[in-house]
Structure 1
Amino acid sequence: MNARTFLVRGLLAGLIAGLLTFAVAFTVGEPPIDTAIGLEEAAAAEAPAEPAAEDHSHAEAEEGHSHTHADDEEEGGITRTTQKTWGLATATVAVGVALGGIIALIAAAVAGRLGRLTVVGSTALVTALGFVSYALIPFLKYPAAPPAVGSGDTIGERTAYYFAFALVSVVAMVAVVALGRRLAASRGSWTGVVVAGVSYVVVVAVAALAMPGVNELGDFPADVLWEFRVSSLLTLATLWGSLGVALTWLLGRISTTQERTA
Structure 2
Amino acid sequence: MENSFGRILRDGVLAGLVAGAAAALVALLVVEPRIRAALRIEEARAHDGGGHAHSHEEMFGRVTQVIGGMVAAVVVAVALGALFAVVFARLRHLLPARTEFGRTMQLAVVGFFAWSLLPALKYPANPPGVGGTDTVTYRTVTYFSVILAGIVIVALAYLLRGYCLRRGWSSPVTVAVTALFVTLLSVLVLWAWPDNPDPVPGDVPAGLLWRFRLSSLAELATLWGVLGLGFGLLSERRVAATNGTRPVAAAS
TM-score by length of 1: 0.86
How far off its partner does 1:115 sit?
Answer: 4.2
Q: Which moved more, 1:101-110 or 1:210-219?
A: 210-219
Tell me, in whole angstroms, the C-alpha distance in 1 between the residues paired with 2:26 and 2:97.
35
Structure 1 residue 199 displacement after superposition = 1.5
1:31: Cα distance to partner? 0.7
Matched length: 241
Query: Which structure has the larger Rg over C-alpha atoms?
Result: 1
Secondary structure at 1:145 match in 2: coil
- 1:173 equivalenced with 2:158 (yes/no): no
Distance 1:84 1:116 in 2: 39
Structure 2 distance, partners of 1:189, 1:161, is: 36
Q: How does 1:46-61 map to 2 (within 5 A)?
A: 46-47=48-49
- 8 Å Cα contact 2:149-2:189 kept in structure 1: yes
Q: CA deviation at 1:116?
A: 5.1
> Residue 261 and residue 217 in structure 1: after superposition, are their counterparts in 2 closer, same or farther (change >3 A)?
closer
2:245 and 2:31 map into 1 onto residues whose CA distance is 46
- 1:240 partner amino acid: W
Question: For residues 153-194 of structure 1, what are the alpha-carbon distances to aligned partners after superposition, in whole Å with 9 as ceiling and x for unaligned?
Answer: 222222222111121111111221122123223324333322
Q: Distance in 2 between matches of 1:128 and 1:158?
A: 25
- The match for 1:35 among 34, 37, 40 is 37
Q: What's the offset of the Cα at 1:104?
A: 1.1
Partner of residue 123 from structure 2, selected from 138, 142, 146: 142
Does residue 233 of structure 1 match 2:220?
A: no
Which residue, out of 77, 80, 93, partners 1:99?
80
The residue that corresponds to 1:18 in the other structure is 20
On the 8 A contact 1:184/1:191 being kept in 2, the answer is no
The answer as to 2:145 corresponding to 1:164 is yes
Q: Is the 8 A contact 1:112 1:119 kept in 2?
A: no
Percentage of matched positions with identical amino acids: 36
TM-score normalised over the length of structure 2: 0.89
In structure 1, the partner of 2:199 is 216
Who is 1:73 aligned against? Answer: 57
3-state DSSP class of the match of 1:148? Answer: coil
AA aligned to 2:207 is D
Residue 234 of structure 2 corresponds to 250
For 1:177 and 1:23, how far apart are their aligned partners in 2?
34
Q: Deviations over 1:31-64 (max 9, x none)?
A: 11011111101101101x5xxxxxxxxxxxxxxx
Between the aligned partners of 1:230 and 1:114, the Cα distance in structure 2 is: 29
- Give 1:238 shift: 0.7
Q: Which residue does 1:84 correspond to in 2?
A: 66
Match of 1:61 in 2: none
User: Residue by residue, what CA displacement relative to the aligned partner does 1:182-223 show, whole Å, maximum 9, x if unpaired?
Assistant: 322332433332222221211121121111112511211112
Aligned to 2:250: none
> Separation in 2 of the partners of 1:207 and 1:232?
21
Letter in 2 for 1:80: R
Q: One-letter code of the match for 2:182?
A: Y
Uncovered stretches (5+) of structure 1, i.e. residues with no partner: 50-65
2:179 to 197, 208, 215: 197
SS of aligned partner of 2:94: coil
Return 176-185 or 218-227, whichever deviates more: 176-185
Task: Please name the residue that 1:57 is paired with.
Answer: none
Query: Which residues in structure 2 correspond to 1:110-121 (within 5 Å)?
Result: 110-115=91-96, 117-121=98-102
CA contact (8 A) 2:13 2:82 kept: yes
Deviates further, 93-102 or 184-193: 184-193
Q: Which amino acid aligns with 2:21?
A: L
Q: Which structure 2 segments of 5+ residues have no match?
A: 247-252
Instruction: Determine the C-alpha separation between the residues in 1 that align with 2:93 and 2:140.
Output: 36
